[in-house]
Chains A and B, each alone.
Chain A
Amino acid sequence: GAVVSQHPSWVICKSGTSVKIECRSLDFQATTMFWYRQFPKQSLMLMATSNEGSKATYEQGVEKDKFLINHASLTLSTLTVTSAHPEDSSFYICSAERGGSGGTGELFFGEGSRLTVL
């Protein structure tokens, strides 16, 4: 199977600080990664699409200057929450598409990162 690792699994930070979350594909090259946010008892909402070597595409309503996404290699995408505030507290989860996946359409998910901003 394809493994996606996300780090850290949980983080607590003070309001106004920045937090970086990493998403790594361990055994495959991920041409595209997707970042989702999930608030308690809600569904996963797409934040942005990250393509290796190019700028991320953000969904409407997601502040690109606040949620910085970098996809510098085929195995790593990072999400940086800048100047975090309590309303940014949420569960962030990444998923990756394996290049040449043979048309399965399947995306592989990281374990998620729970962010708490005090």
Chain B
Amino acid sequence: AQTVTQSQPEMSVQEAETVTLSCTYDTSESDYYLFWYKQPPSRQMILVIRQEAYKQQNATENRFSVNFQKAAKSFSLKISDSQLGDAAMYFCAYRRSGYALNFGKGTSLLVTP
């Protein structure tokens, strides 16, 4: 079974600063997808960024980027120029095609002015 581990239950960052959220996973598969989702108080799941395992290049989406280390099974999320609206719960997730998303326990991000 695949497991996703987020070792930081809570993180705090000052507005305009950079923060990195950690995620590791365990799998014996070579072809899979990794995701970071944001869940604000509304509880709507919002896709932040996606990475295909076969791609060596790290995905980026504006202020959000990942550091994907396939051999180490690590998938961290970096948020640059943090904004108050970034405050939310962030979930790292793993998925193989045709199967469900497998989520980590989440990291609560607090952004201070």
Question: Chain A interface (Cβ within 8 Å of chain B)?
Answer: 32, 34, 38, 42-44, 46, 49, 91, 93, 95, 97, 103-107, 109, 111-112, 114
Contacts and interface: CB of A to CB of B under 8 A. Distances in A.
B3 to A, nearest CB: 12
Given A32-B98, A43-B91, A91-B43, A106 B50 contact: yes
Given A43-B91, A44-B103, A105 B45 contact: no
B33 A49 contact: no
**From DSSP, what is the main secondary structure of chain B's interface residues?**
loop
Contacts of B44: 109, 111-112
A43 B101 CA distance: 12
A64 B35 CA distance: 29
Given A93-B45, A112-B44, A43 B104 contact: yes
Interface string B39-64: 00011110100101000000000000
Contacts of A103: 52, 97
B59 to A, nearest CB: 12
Contacts of A46: 100-102
Nearest to A111: B44
Contacts of A112: 43-45
Contacts of A32: 98
B50 A105 contact: yes
Contacts of A104: 33, 50
B78 interface: no
Contacts of A34: 100-101
Most A CB contacts (10 A, CB to CB) among B33, B101, B102 go to B101
Nearest to B98: A32
B108 to A, nearest CB: 9
Nearest to A47: B100
Given A43-B106, A44-B91, A107 B43 contact: no
A109 B43 CA distance: 11
Contacts of B102: 46
A82 to B, nearest CB: 23
